[in-house]
Structure 1
C-alpha cells in the first residue's frame, strides 16, 4: 500500500471494531515519545491491500503472561541494524545474534514502558520469515514506528506491526505518550474535493442518464459568494475563499448523508425488487485544494487554510467516489444544476433479477430530478469560487 493511501485512509477508515475505535480516539494522527535517542511513534493504519500480504519476520514477545508479536519487514530491519550490524541479511546471523539484534532494537521501547510503570514486553524468540497472520492482514494495523534522525547514514525508521496486544495495555501505552502527528502526517499533502453541490437520484434514474440531461442539486453551495463545499472521507465542511490561496473554514458540517434532503447510499438490507429505488448521492466536483493532513485532522471553524486551489475545466459528477460524467453548471431560476456533456460510465449497474425493466420515461432534453429534492440555497449568478 502506498504511503499516500495509508495516510488518506485516516479520513476514510474501515468500520472500526469498538476497541479499535476507542483506541483510534486516543491515538488520532499519532502519539510520540522520545527515549534513548530514538523516537517512538504509535499510530493506527487502515490497510487497503486487498488481501495481498508480503512476508514479515515475527518477533515473539511475552507480555503479562501472554504471547504477543511485533512483525517487521526483513529489508527494513536489516537497514535499521546498520551500522551496528552491517550484514547482507538476517539469515547471515546466528540465532543468538538474531535475538541480540532484536533486543538492541527494542530496548528503547522496553525502557520507556519500564520508566512509565507499564508492563514491559520481554523478548521470547525471533522466528523465521512467515506469511502475515490473519490479524496483520485485517483492515486495521497497530503500528509502532522507531525513528532515529541523528546517524551518520541519515534518518532511519522501522515499522513494527503489533498483534495480540491487549487493548487495555495499548490504551495505557498511548496515554503515556504525547499527542503529535507522526512525521509523514506532518508533511503529507491531501487533495480535498471542492464541490458546488450534491444531488440524489435513484439507481434506475442514474442508469438512464445521458448527455444533455440536467441533474439538479439538492444542496447547493453559495458559489457567487465565493463559498464551496469541501469533502474528504467523513470530513465535510464549507469554506469561503479569501484570496486565490486562502480559504476560511466557516462551518464543519454533518456527514453528507445526514444533510437535509440527502439520503444515505450505504449498503442496507433492501428487498431486491426495490434496488432500482435505492438512492445514490452525486457530487458536483468543481476542483481540488491541497491541504496538509495534520491541519485537516484538527480542523476547527475559523481556521484559514493556505492551499493551492485548482478548478477543473469541466464539472465532474461523482457517484460513490467514481467519476461517472463531465458536465457544466446551469441555472434554472434559483436552482443549480449540472448539464451532462459526456457520460463516463453507468454505475452502479442494475442487479441481476432486480425489477428495473421499466425505467422512468424522460426526454433527454428535459431536466432529470427527484421530485423529493428541494433547493437549499438561493445564491444568484453562476460564478465559481
Structure 2
C-alpha cells in the first residue's frame, strides 16, 4: 500500500512529537539539540510548500482562504521585521518569525493531509493509538509525567505542545470516523488523554468541539440535547457524591478560577495590554510587554498588528465559520464540513478565551475549512 508523504510527515509532526519525547524520557532515543516539533515543521515546510506551489500553478488559482491567510502572515512578517530592525534584542522577532513559519507549515501539511480521500491514513491512526496509549501509560497520579522521568527536564516541551499535537491528530481521526458510536469512543479517549495532559484550553476546547460536532451531526437536534443533559447530570452527581474522585489537575482548577494563579496572571497581562492598545489604537503596541507577558486572547492581534490587522484577522476566521454555518443550515452537510465548522468555531472560542493569535489550531482549522466542498450554486 502506498503511503502519501503528507501522511508520514503529519504522523511524525503531531503524534510523532509525543512518541519521540516518551522515547526520550525512557532513554530509547538520545535527545536532539533543537526541538523535535520545530524540526518536523521545517520538514513539513520543505516538503509541502513545493507541492503546494506546483498544484497552485497547475490549477491556475489559489483558494481565497489560502490567499487571505498568507496575506495576513506576510503583513505580520513585515511588522515583525520592521520593529525587529529597530531593537538590539532580536528574541521577539525570532519568536514571531518562527511562529509565522510554523503557521505556514501546519496549514500546508494539514491541508494536504485532510484533503486525502484515499484509504491510506492507517499510519496516522496507528500513531494516534500509540500516542494515546503512551499518555495513559506514562501518567502519574492522573497526569502525564514525562519531565519526572527525564534526566534533563529542559528537553521536554510543555504540556501545551503535547496537547496541541494530540488535538490536531484527533481532529484528523474524527474526519475519518463517520460511525457515531466509534466517534464516541474516540471522544472519550481524547478527553481522558487531554485531562491527563493537564491542558485546560485544549480539554475545554475539545469538549466543545465534540459536543458541537455531535449536535450538528444529528438530524433530530433534541436527541443530543437530551443525551448531554443526562450525561452531565450523572457526572455532577458522581463528582459531588465522590463516587468518582478526579485526580488533582490544572483542569479541576477551572471550577475556581477566581483563586487560580494562572488565570489571575493572565487577567493582569490582558488588562495591561489593553491599556497600551488604547494608548495607540491604530498602530497597536507591538512588543510592549515583558517576556511572556503578551495578551492571552484574541486582543493580542490588535496589540501586535494594529486595528487593521485585527479586523483582517477577525474576518479571516469568521468568514469561513459563517460560510460553514450557512452550508449546514441550507442543506444536508457532508461529514468533513461538519468537522470543519466545529473546529473553526472551537478555535474562535479558544482565541476569545485565552489563546495568542498565532495559536497553531488557527492554521489547522483554516486548512480544514479550505478543503471542504463549497456550497453548490442554485441554477434555474
TM interval, shorter chain, is: under 0.3
> Which structure has greater helix proportion?
2
Q: Flag the structure with higher strand content.
A: 1
Larger Rg: 1
Q: TM-score, normalised by structure 2?
A: 0.20
